[in-house]
Amino acid sequence: MKKLYIFLVIVILGLVYFLYILKTSKEVIKIGFVGALSAKYSDLGNPMMNGIILAFEEEKYEINGKKIELIFKDDKKDEEVNRQIVNDFISQGIKIVMGNVTSSMSKISMSIINKHKDMFMISAASASNEFSGIDDQFFRVHVANNEQRFSTFTKYIKDNNFKKIYGIYDPGNITYTKDYLENFEKSFISNGGENFIKYAKTDENLDDLVFDINNSNPDLILLCANSVDAARVVQYLRMKGVQTQIASSEWGMTPAFIENTGKYSEGIIFNIDYDEDSKSEDFINFSKKFRLKYQMEPSLFASKGYELARIVIELLKMGEQTELKRNLLIKKEFKGLQGDIIFDKYGDVIRKFNTFKVINGKFEKVE
């Protein structure tokens, strides 16, 4: 009898302990990030990751009583690696994916994620206009490469009497880079400009590129490439005596561009929806927190990674992780670090752009 009593006590205590653990254990929401965290595209991926981490740390990795687990994966700018990562996310039951860093890799991820209507993918950098106007599972905080996005830039180019434009793009991310040049050209023509002289690639023989530019005699070289390749091309052109004005996409506007280009960065023009000297209180507070944590200034991509994460956090507070798309389309408007972020019904946004020029080794607003 005594043994039975002891046994029952043990069973009851065990049951009580089990129920306690069950009650106190919290549901875990896994969120995946896939993007370039190594090699030359890492100057986008790593700042984004840092911005995302900062945002979730502010929530102590917990939303509505549920724990948040972030899973960061490096796509290595490799299509097959990227597919494996996304499929692994799906096998783990992950419903929210942040990424990719480049439009070419986002295209791969989207081809898989769009088959799962309960998933939600949001990017801080993918800007290809190829993704616009489609009702799918893909959203972004970066403006698409459409004619509207280039309106202020083409006006600046025309007002400064640049007429003959020579385009150069990075073929490693062609979904974004060539798309950028093509849509800039459309905007330029619709505002009274001329067709581009030529489209060249950053991986061409640079001596041949110098020769062709000298023969073409453009007023402006428009370069769309990552900061490493952009710096390499700019430096080589200047060293070979090409003094033509150069403008670059926002992709190249990172501290690494000036570091790698040195004195040859002087005078390069950028058009971007970001101002590192913004007086916005939200941006100033974010910058302080970022500097304190990482001992460096936040870049455009750190800022957009943080904004992306804050949007995901706000949507999770509104409802279940499988309802993010529905809730985003209901709310539509979110507070960004430098102004409101307003989504249309296809997940594209409109933001204000400014023109900058490198002056005395710093990005200075020239408008």
pLDDT at position 272 over 80: yes
pLDDT at position 292 over 50: yes
Tokens describing residue 299: 């870049």
**Sheet architecture: strand order including 354-359:** 198-201, 165-169, 220-224, 245-248, 269-272, 354-359, 362-365
3-state percent helix, strand, coil for the chain, nearest multiple of 5: 50, 20, 30
pLDDT at position 176 over 70: yes
Count of CB atoms within 10 A of residue 206's CB? 16
Give 293-349 pLDDT, tens digit per residue.
Answer: 999 999 999 999 999 999 999 999 999 999 999 999 999 999 999 999 999 999 999
Alpha carbon distance 43, 254 (integer Å):
8
Give 45-94 pLDDT, tens digit per residue.
Answer: 999 999 999 999 999 999 999 999 999 999 999 999 999 999 999 999 99
Cβ contacts of 267 within 8 Å, gap of 6 or more: 245, 246, 357, 358, 359
The DSSP output letter for 322 is: G
- Beta-bridge partner residues of 98: 33, 122
Alpha carbon distance 247, 188 (integer Å):
14
Alpha carbon distance 202, 342 (integer Å):
34
Alpha carbon distance 367, 363 (integer Å):
12
Tokens describing residue 45: 């991926």
The amino acid that residue 52 corresponds to is I
Is the CB of residue 61 less than 8 Å from the CB of residue 67?
yes
**Sheet architecture: strand order including 339-343:** 333-336, 339-343, 349-350
In 3D space, the residue among 234, 128, 113, 143 whose CA is nearest the CA of residue 173 turns out to be 128
- Angle of helix 79-91 versus helix 103-113 axis, rounded to 10: 40
Give 92-143 pLDDT, tens digit per residue.
Answer: 999 999 999 999 999 999 999 999 999 999 999 999 999 999 999 999 999 9
pLDDT for 26: 76
Is the CB of residue 89 less than 8 Å from the CB of residue 34?
yes
Mean pLDDT score, 242-269: 95
Is the CB of residue 287 less than 8 Å from the CB of residue 297?
yes
Domain boundaries, the chain: 28-143+279-350, 148-272
pLDDT for 302: 96
Cβ contacts of 280 within 8 Å, gap of 6 or more: 337, 338, 339
Output the CATH code of domain 148-272: 3.40.50.2300
The DSSP output letter for 266 is: T
Q: In terms of pTM, does the model score above 0.85? A: yes
Alpha carbon distance 92, 281 (integer Å):
39
Alpha carbon distance 276, 303 (integer Å):
10
Task: Please list the alpha-helical segments (H only) found in the chain.
Answer: 2-24, 42-58, 79-91, 103-113, 151-159, 174-190, 206-216, 227-239, 255-261, 281-294, 300-318, 324-331
Q: What are the two backbone dihedrals, phi and then psi, of residue 63, each rounded to the nearest 5 degrees?
A: -135, 125
Topology agreement, domain 28-143+279-350 and domain 148-272: yes
Is the CB of residue 223 less than 8 Å from the CB of residue 269?
no
Average confidence score pLDDT of the chain: 93
Predicted confidence band of residue 15 (pLDDT cuts 50, 70, 90): low
The CATH H-level superfamily of 28-143+279-350 is: Response regulator (3.40.50.2300)
